Structure 1
């Protein structure tokens, strides 16, 4: 029997980080979770605290990072990811994408560990091509309200490739498209969550613009499997992982109303600055290189997600935050 692999997962108490912890625990890894809890929630990983092959560090990766012992892999998922968060804490968002990434790349170099960096479809900005292939350089406003997140991720990719080419660090970059599922925060400002929260509270669903913007929603289990395969592949260039099943925001709102049995109406509000008009991943590379494509239909995934939110306390469901993007 071989030596147990050790993996550091930053942003471990967040939505994706906590699911990644679960996946690698199931894979018999020794998982070290790290999170400063600025947006993460300990309840997402509290079921892991009793396990011998899990440990947790309450730490901000923008500061010096020390992890004793060997490391085989690092997954960098520490970053605010919703508009509500990165508009409230723009400096921290920029720091975790720059200083935090720099610190973790240095740690990977020192430990001779392979590191996977979580980038995002937001590097494409408001795209002029659809679907978005990895070769598309994007259409991003660096000084707009979304710039603190978009440019942090673009810098993150640049410094990661620099460490790969200059220092020979084993790196992987995943560009994550809209993902949903249990453990998301109902009030974190994303359109899917806003719709579900409003439907559960029996309120009208609010749409920014005329609702013709498109998004592509990937269920979390599919995304985690894609990330797992990318980490263990030999591919070093950025790779899209997401569901190419595109839908307009208006159509999506209608789906939520039907699924929840709500008879509320859809209300249109002014479109926020730099809101992307289209979002759909080209997953040609993921199919060819990883043998990966989404398996969970939107209808199936939404039913699971809705049941999770129905299980929350009434206080959590009643908590409102009307300022969100069609993300």
Structure 2
């Protein structure tokens, strides 16, 4: 039986990856320090014979007994609220954490896939964004702690591939949504749905003409699985190229939730990208992958998930208590 280590396993994408690899017949070793992850996302898996969980911070030395065939590194804060609240931890998990896991992959002779992001493109000057675009990133801006952590991840991963001959895969993940997102994590879809469910006005930052491209989680997981099993060492965009303005998307949410909230506008955060659309030509050609689930269907499933949450979840503050873990 193949064995896979998934870091960030109690998070949104990590938990869905655990589901997929168990379904594929793997023995899954899940790892998370639970700073932003939630055990509720994987509690249904604890009864599985071929699932085990390690409560561990990957910025410290990582040891996993026995063989490993694959490693998927998804440990990182992913929402602006989180990585602006814990900037040092965000930088450490992208640098020290990635270094530790690449070393583990080298020791175990395992193939490793790292979760990079469309944020490596920054506020792009090229549209849509293809993998050969180097990006437009403010290294010292507030978002730089996330953007540069991911760019470093890519650099050190390619160094291990070229210098040590390590089998590496790099996924540049664009906006993804679906069940198990945190309702109040600050990203646009849970933010809009949460506001609609609470009867609040929908908040748009900027004039609403900035664009995003949303990929449903099932499509994202399929793309990641195909990338891991491919022969592609260079970065590959995994996302949905169907682009929409935030203003139009807010209206879609109002229609979906059958609410009559107004839209209110606030100033745009520093370095917030104005356009985001993946060029997925490489994924189509090399992985035979493209999204299958329409935004209308994906949003219907996501809204039903948020509706099913306990009412107290609606009113939890978006600013989680990170205590002193950021000071290390």
- Place the TM-score, normalised by the shorter chain, in its bin: over 0.9
How far is 1:320 from its partner? 4.4
What's the counterpart of residue 269 of structure 1? 266
**Does residue 1:31 correspond to 2:25, yes or no?**
no
Q: Which 5+ residue runs of structure 2 have no aligned equivalent?
A: 320-328
**Does residue 1:93 correspond to 2:71, yes or no?**
no
Among candidates 45, 54, 62, match of residue 51 of structure 2: 54
SS in 2 for 1:52: coil
What's the counterpart of residue 325 of structure 1? none
In 2, Cα distance between equivalents of 1:11 and 1:151: 19
Among candidates 39, 42, 67, match of residue 42 of structure 1: 39
TM-score when normalising by structure 1 = 0.97
TM-score when normalising by structure 2 = 0.97
In 1, Cα distance between equivalents of 2:318 and 2:227: 35
What's the counterpart of residue 70 of structure 1? 67
What's the counterpart of residue 278 of structure 1? 275
SS in 2 for 1:250: helix
In 2, Cα distance between equivalents of 1:215 and 1:98: 27
Runs of 4+ in 1 over 4 A off after TM superposition: none
In 2, Cα distance between equivalents of 1:291 and 1:321: 38
Q: Deviations over 1:74-101 (max 9, x none)?
A: 0000000000000000000000000000
What's the counterpart of residue 105 of structure 1? 102
In 2, Cα distance between equivalents of 1:236 and 1:307: 37
RMSD: 1.0
What's the counterpart of residue 127 of structure 2? 130
Question: Number of paired residues?
Answer: 320
SS in 1 for 2:4: strand
SS in 2 for 1:32: strand
Q: Deviations over 1:271-301 (max 9, x none)?
A: 1100100000000000011100000000000
Among candidates 215, 220, 225, match of residue 222 of structure 2: 225
In 2, Cα distance between equivalents of 1:96 and 1:321: 21
In 1, Cα distance between equivalents of 2:199 and 2:278: 32
Q: Deviations over 1:127-171 (max 9, x none)?
A: 001100000000000000100000000000000000000001000
